[in-house]
Amino acid sequence: MIDYSHRFKTLETNVVHAGAPRPNIAGAVVTPIFQSANYLMEDESEYDEVRYIRLSNSPNHLSLQARLAAIESGQAALVVSSGMAAITTSLLAFVSAGDHVLAQKTLYGGTQSFFDHDAPRFRIEHTAIDTVNGGPEDWEAALRPETRVMMVESISNPLMEVGDLEAVVAFAKRHDLVTIIDNTFASPVNFRPLEIGIDLSVHSATKYLNGHSDLVAGAVIGSLEHVDRVRQLQLHLGGSLDPHTAYLLERGLKTLALRVPRQNQNAQRVAEHLAGRDDVGRVNYPGLPTDPGHEVASRLFSGFGGMLSFYAGDDARAERFLSTVRIPIHAASLGGLESLVVRPARSSHLGQSPEVRQALGITDDLIRVSIGIEDADELIADFDQALGAA
């Protein structure tokens, strides 16, 4: 019998060794790729015991899921086909027709589009709440008898807001709500939401967990009870991850504790430099003392992340900056080794109307930056030349 339960004391050791099969399969130091859709039948007594890729129980799935659970202090984890699969399957596991969700007002565009366009088809409603400037009194006003879930982000996309997450946990427990947090931007290196009482942490593993911009995957981490509820729905919706991608994600995870601190350091320096320029509007980064989320982030996070955004001044200047910058790549996504720049109004939040984007602060001149592991001085010099040309 292969054991995947090994855990260690520190995140740095867990990202390398937790969940590794023991004894090693055929003596392999690295978990081999089990590119098999099905396995020999044994003495299964329940459907979940049948070994089949869609049931997320190949050796690649089991090892990866055990490692993810260990690094984020969860009892269990589930890997799925994308970050959106992680988000939507988790939500749908805890709400039904007629139910209601309290959702942070600034969410990733895909999540918001699900609430706006897809959830109503299932008679699931949501109310946007402010977790930064609002509090329990405001949330009470939005609460309904049919409210079942609170959905938040550890660092919001693309404004880098950090809400009062401890207040969210207390409020949800008081009203018997399930809390789901998108922890993609923070990563387990900077924040482990389950440790403060959040029920489920979801990730687009495409981003920091993998870190190499070469796969798409999602992860759900939490208690055995909560993750199993998501797993049972995932079996029917079919958003499974193939073993080769699981292998690549496990490989990417091993350098997580090296990559993220470097990205934290680089982002802090770039944010501070941009904030000091007179020709740049507000810089959104929780590591800046002037940022509204700085106090909460300083208390809860180990680092402020590799994501920032800033206002270039106007639409045309933003476009000139994107066409002039040399090191960052003008592309969507985030969390890779390379720095990326993009306008959220033309990418992640393009599905929202201009009026909604404007009201949220996602204006046409907002530029989101995913900082990589390049030399910080060279990045800053490149930003300066691009802003000068713009």
Q: Which band of pLDDT confidence, cut at 50, 70 and 90, is reported for residue 1?
A: confident
Average pLDDT over residues 27-39: 95
Q: Which of 4, 108, 208, 311 is catalytic?
A: 108
pLDDT attached to residue 345: 83
DSSP alpha helices (H): ranges in 204-342? 224-237, 243-253, 256-275, 294-300, 315-324
Domains and CATH numbers, the chain: 11-253 (3.40.640.10), 258-389 (3.90.1150.10)
Q: Is 47 a catalytic residue?
A: no
Which pLDDT value is given to residue 361? 81
* Per-residue pLDDT reduced to its tens digit, 115-126: 999 999 999 999
pLDDT the model gives residue 44: 85
- Side chain identity, residue 34: F
Cα distances from 270 to residues 11, 29, 278, 318, 326, in angstroms, run: 27, 39, 15, 17, 15
Given a cut of 80, whether residue 136 has pLDDT beyond it is: yes
Q: What pLDDT score was predicted for residue 318?
A: 95
Q: Of the residues 99, 164, 182, 365, which is catalytic?
A: 182
Instruction: Give the tens place of pLDDT for each residue, 216-256.
Output: 999 999 999 999 999 999 999 999 999 999 999 999 999 99
Annotated catalytic, 173?
A: no
pLDDT tens readout for residues 156-207 = 999 999 999 999 999 999 999 999 999 999 999 999 999 999 999 999 999 9
pLDDT mean across residues, the chain: 96
Task: Give catalytic status of residue 365 as yes or no.
Answer: no
Catalytic residue among 207, 231, 343, 357: 207
Q: Where in the chain does DSSP place strands (E)?
A: 76-80, 100-104, 125-129, 147-153, 178-182, 200-204, 218-222, 283-284, 307-311, 329-330, 340-342, 366-370
Question: Which is higher by pLDDT, 321 or 359?
Answer: 321
* Rg (alpha carbons) of the chain, rounded to whole number: 21
pLDDT at 234: 97
pLDDT of the residue at 11: 97
Q: What separation in angstroms does the CA of 90 have from each of 49, 157, 234?
A: 22, 19, 9
Of 7, 39, 52, 54, catalytic: 54
Supply the pLDDT for residue 292: 95
Tokens representing 240?
A: 């499974």
Distance in angstroms (rounded) separating the CA atoms of residues 68 and 53? 18
- Whether 54 is a known active-site residue: answer yes
Contact criterion met (CB below 8 Å) for 161 and 288: no
What pLDDT is attached to residue 360? Answer: 78
Q: What is the pLDDT of residues 283-309, one digit of tens each?
A: 999 999 999 999 999 999 999 999 999
Q: Cα–Cα distance between 385 and 390 in angstroms, integer?
A: 8
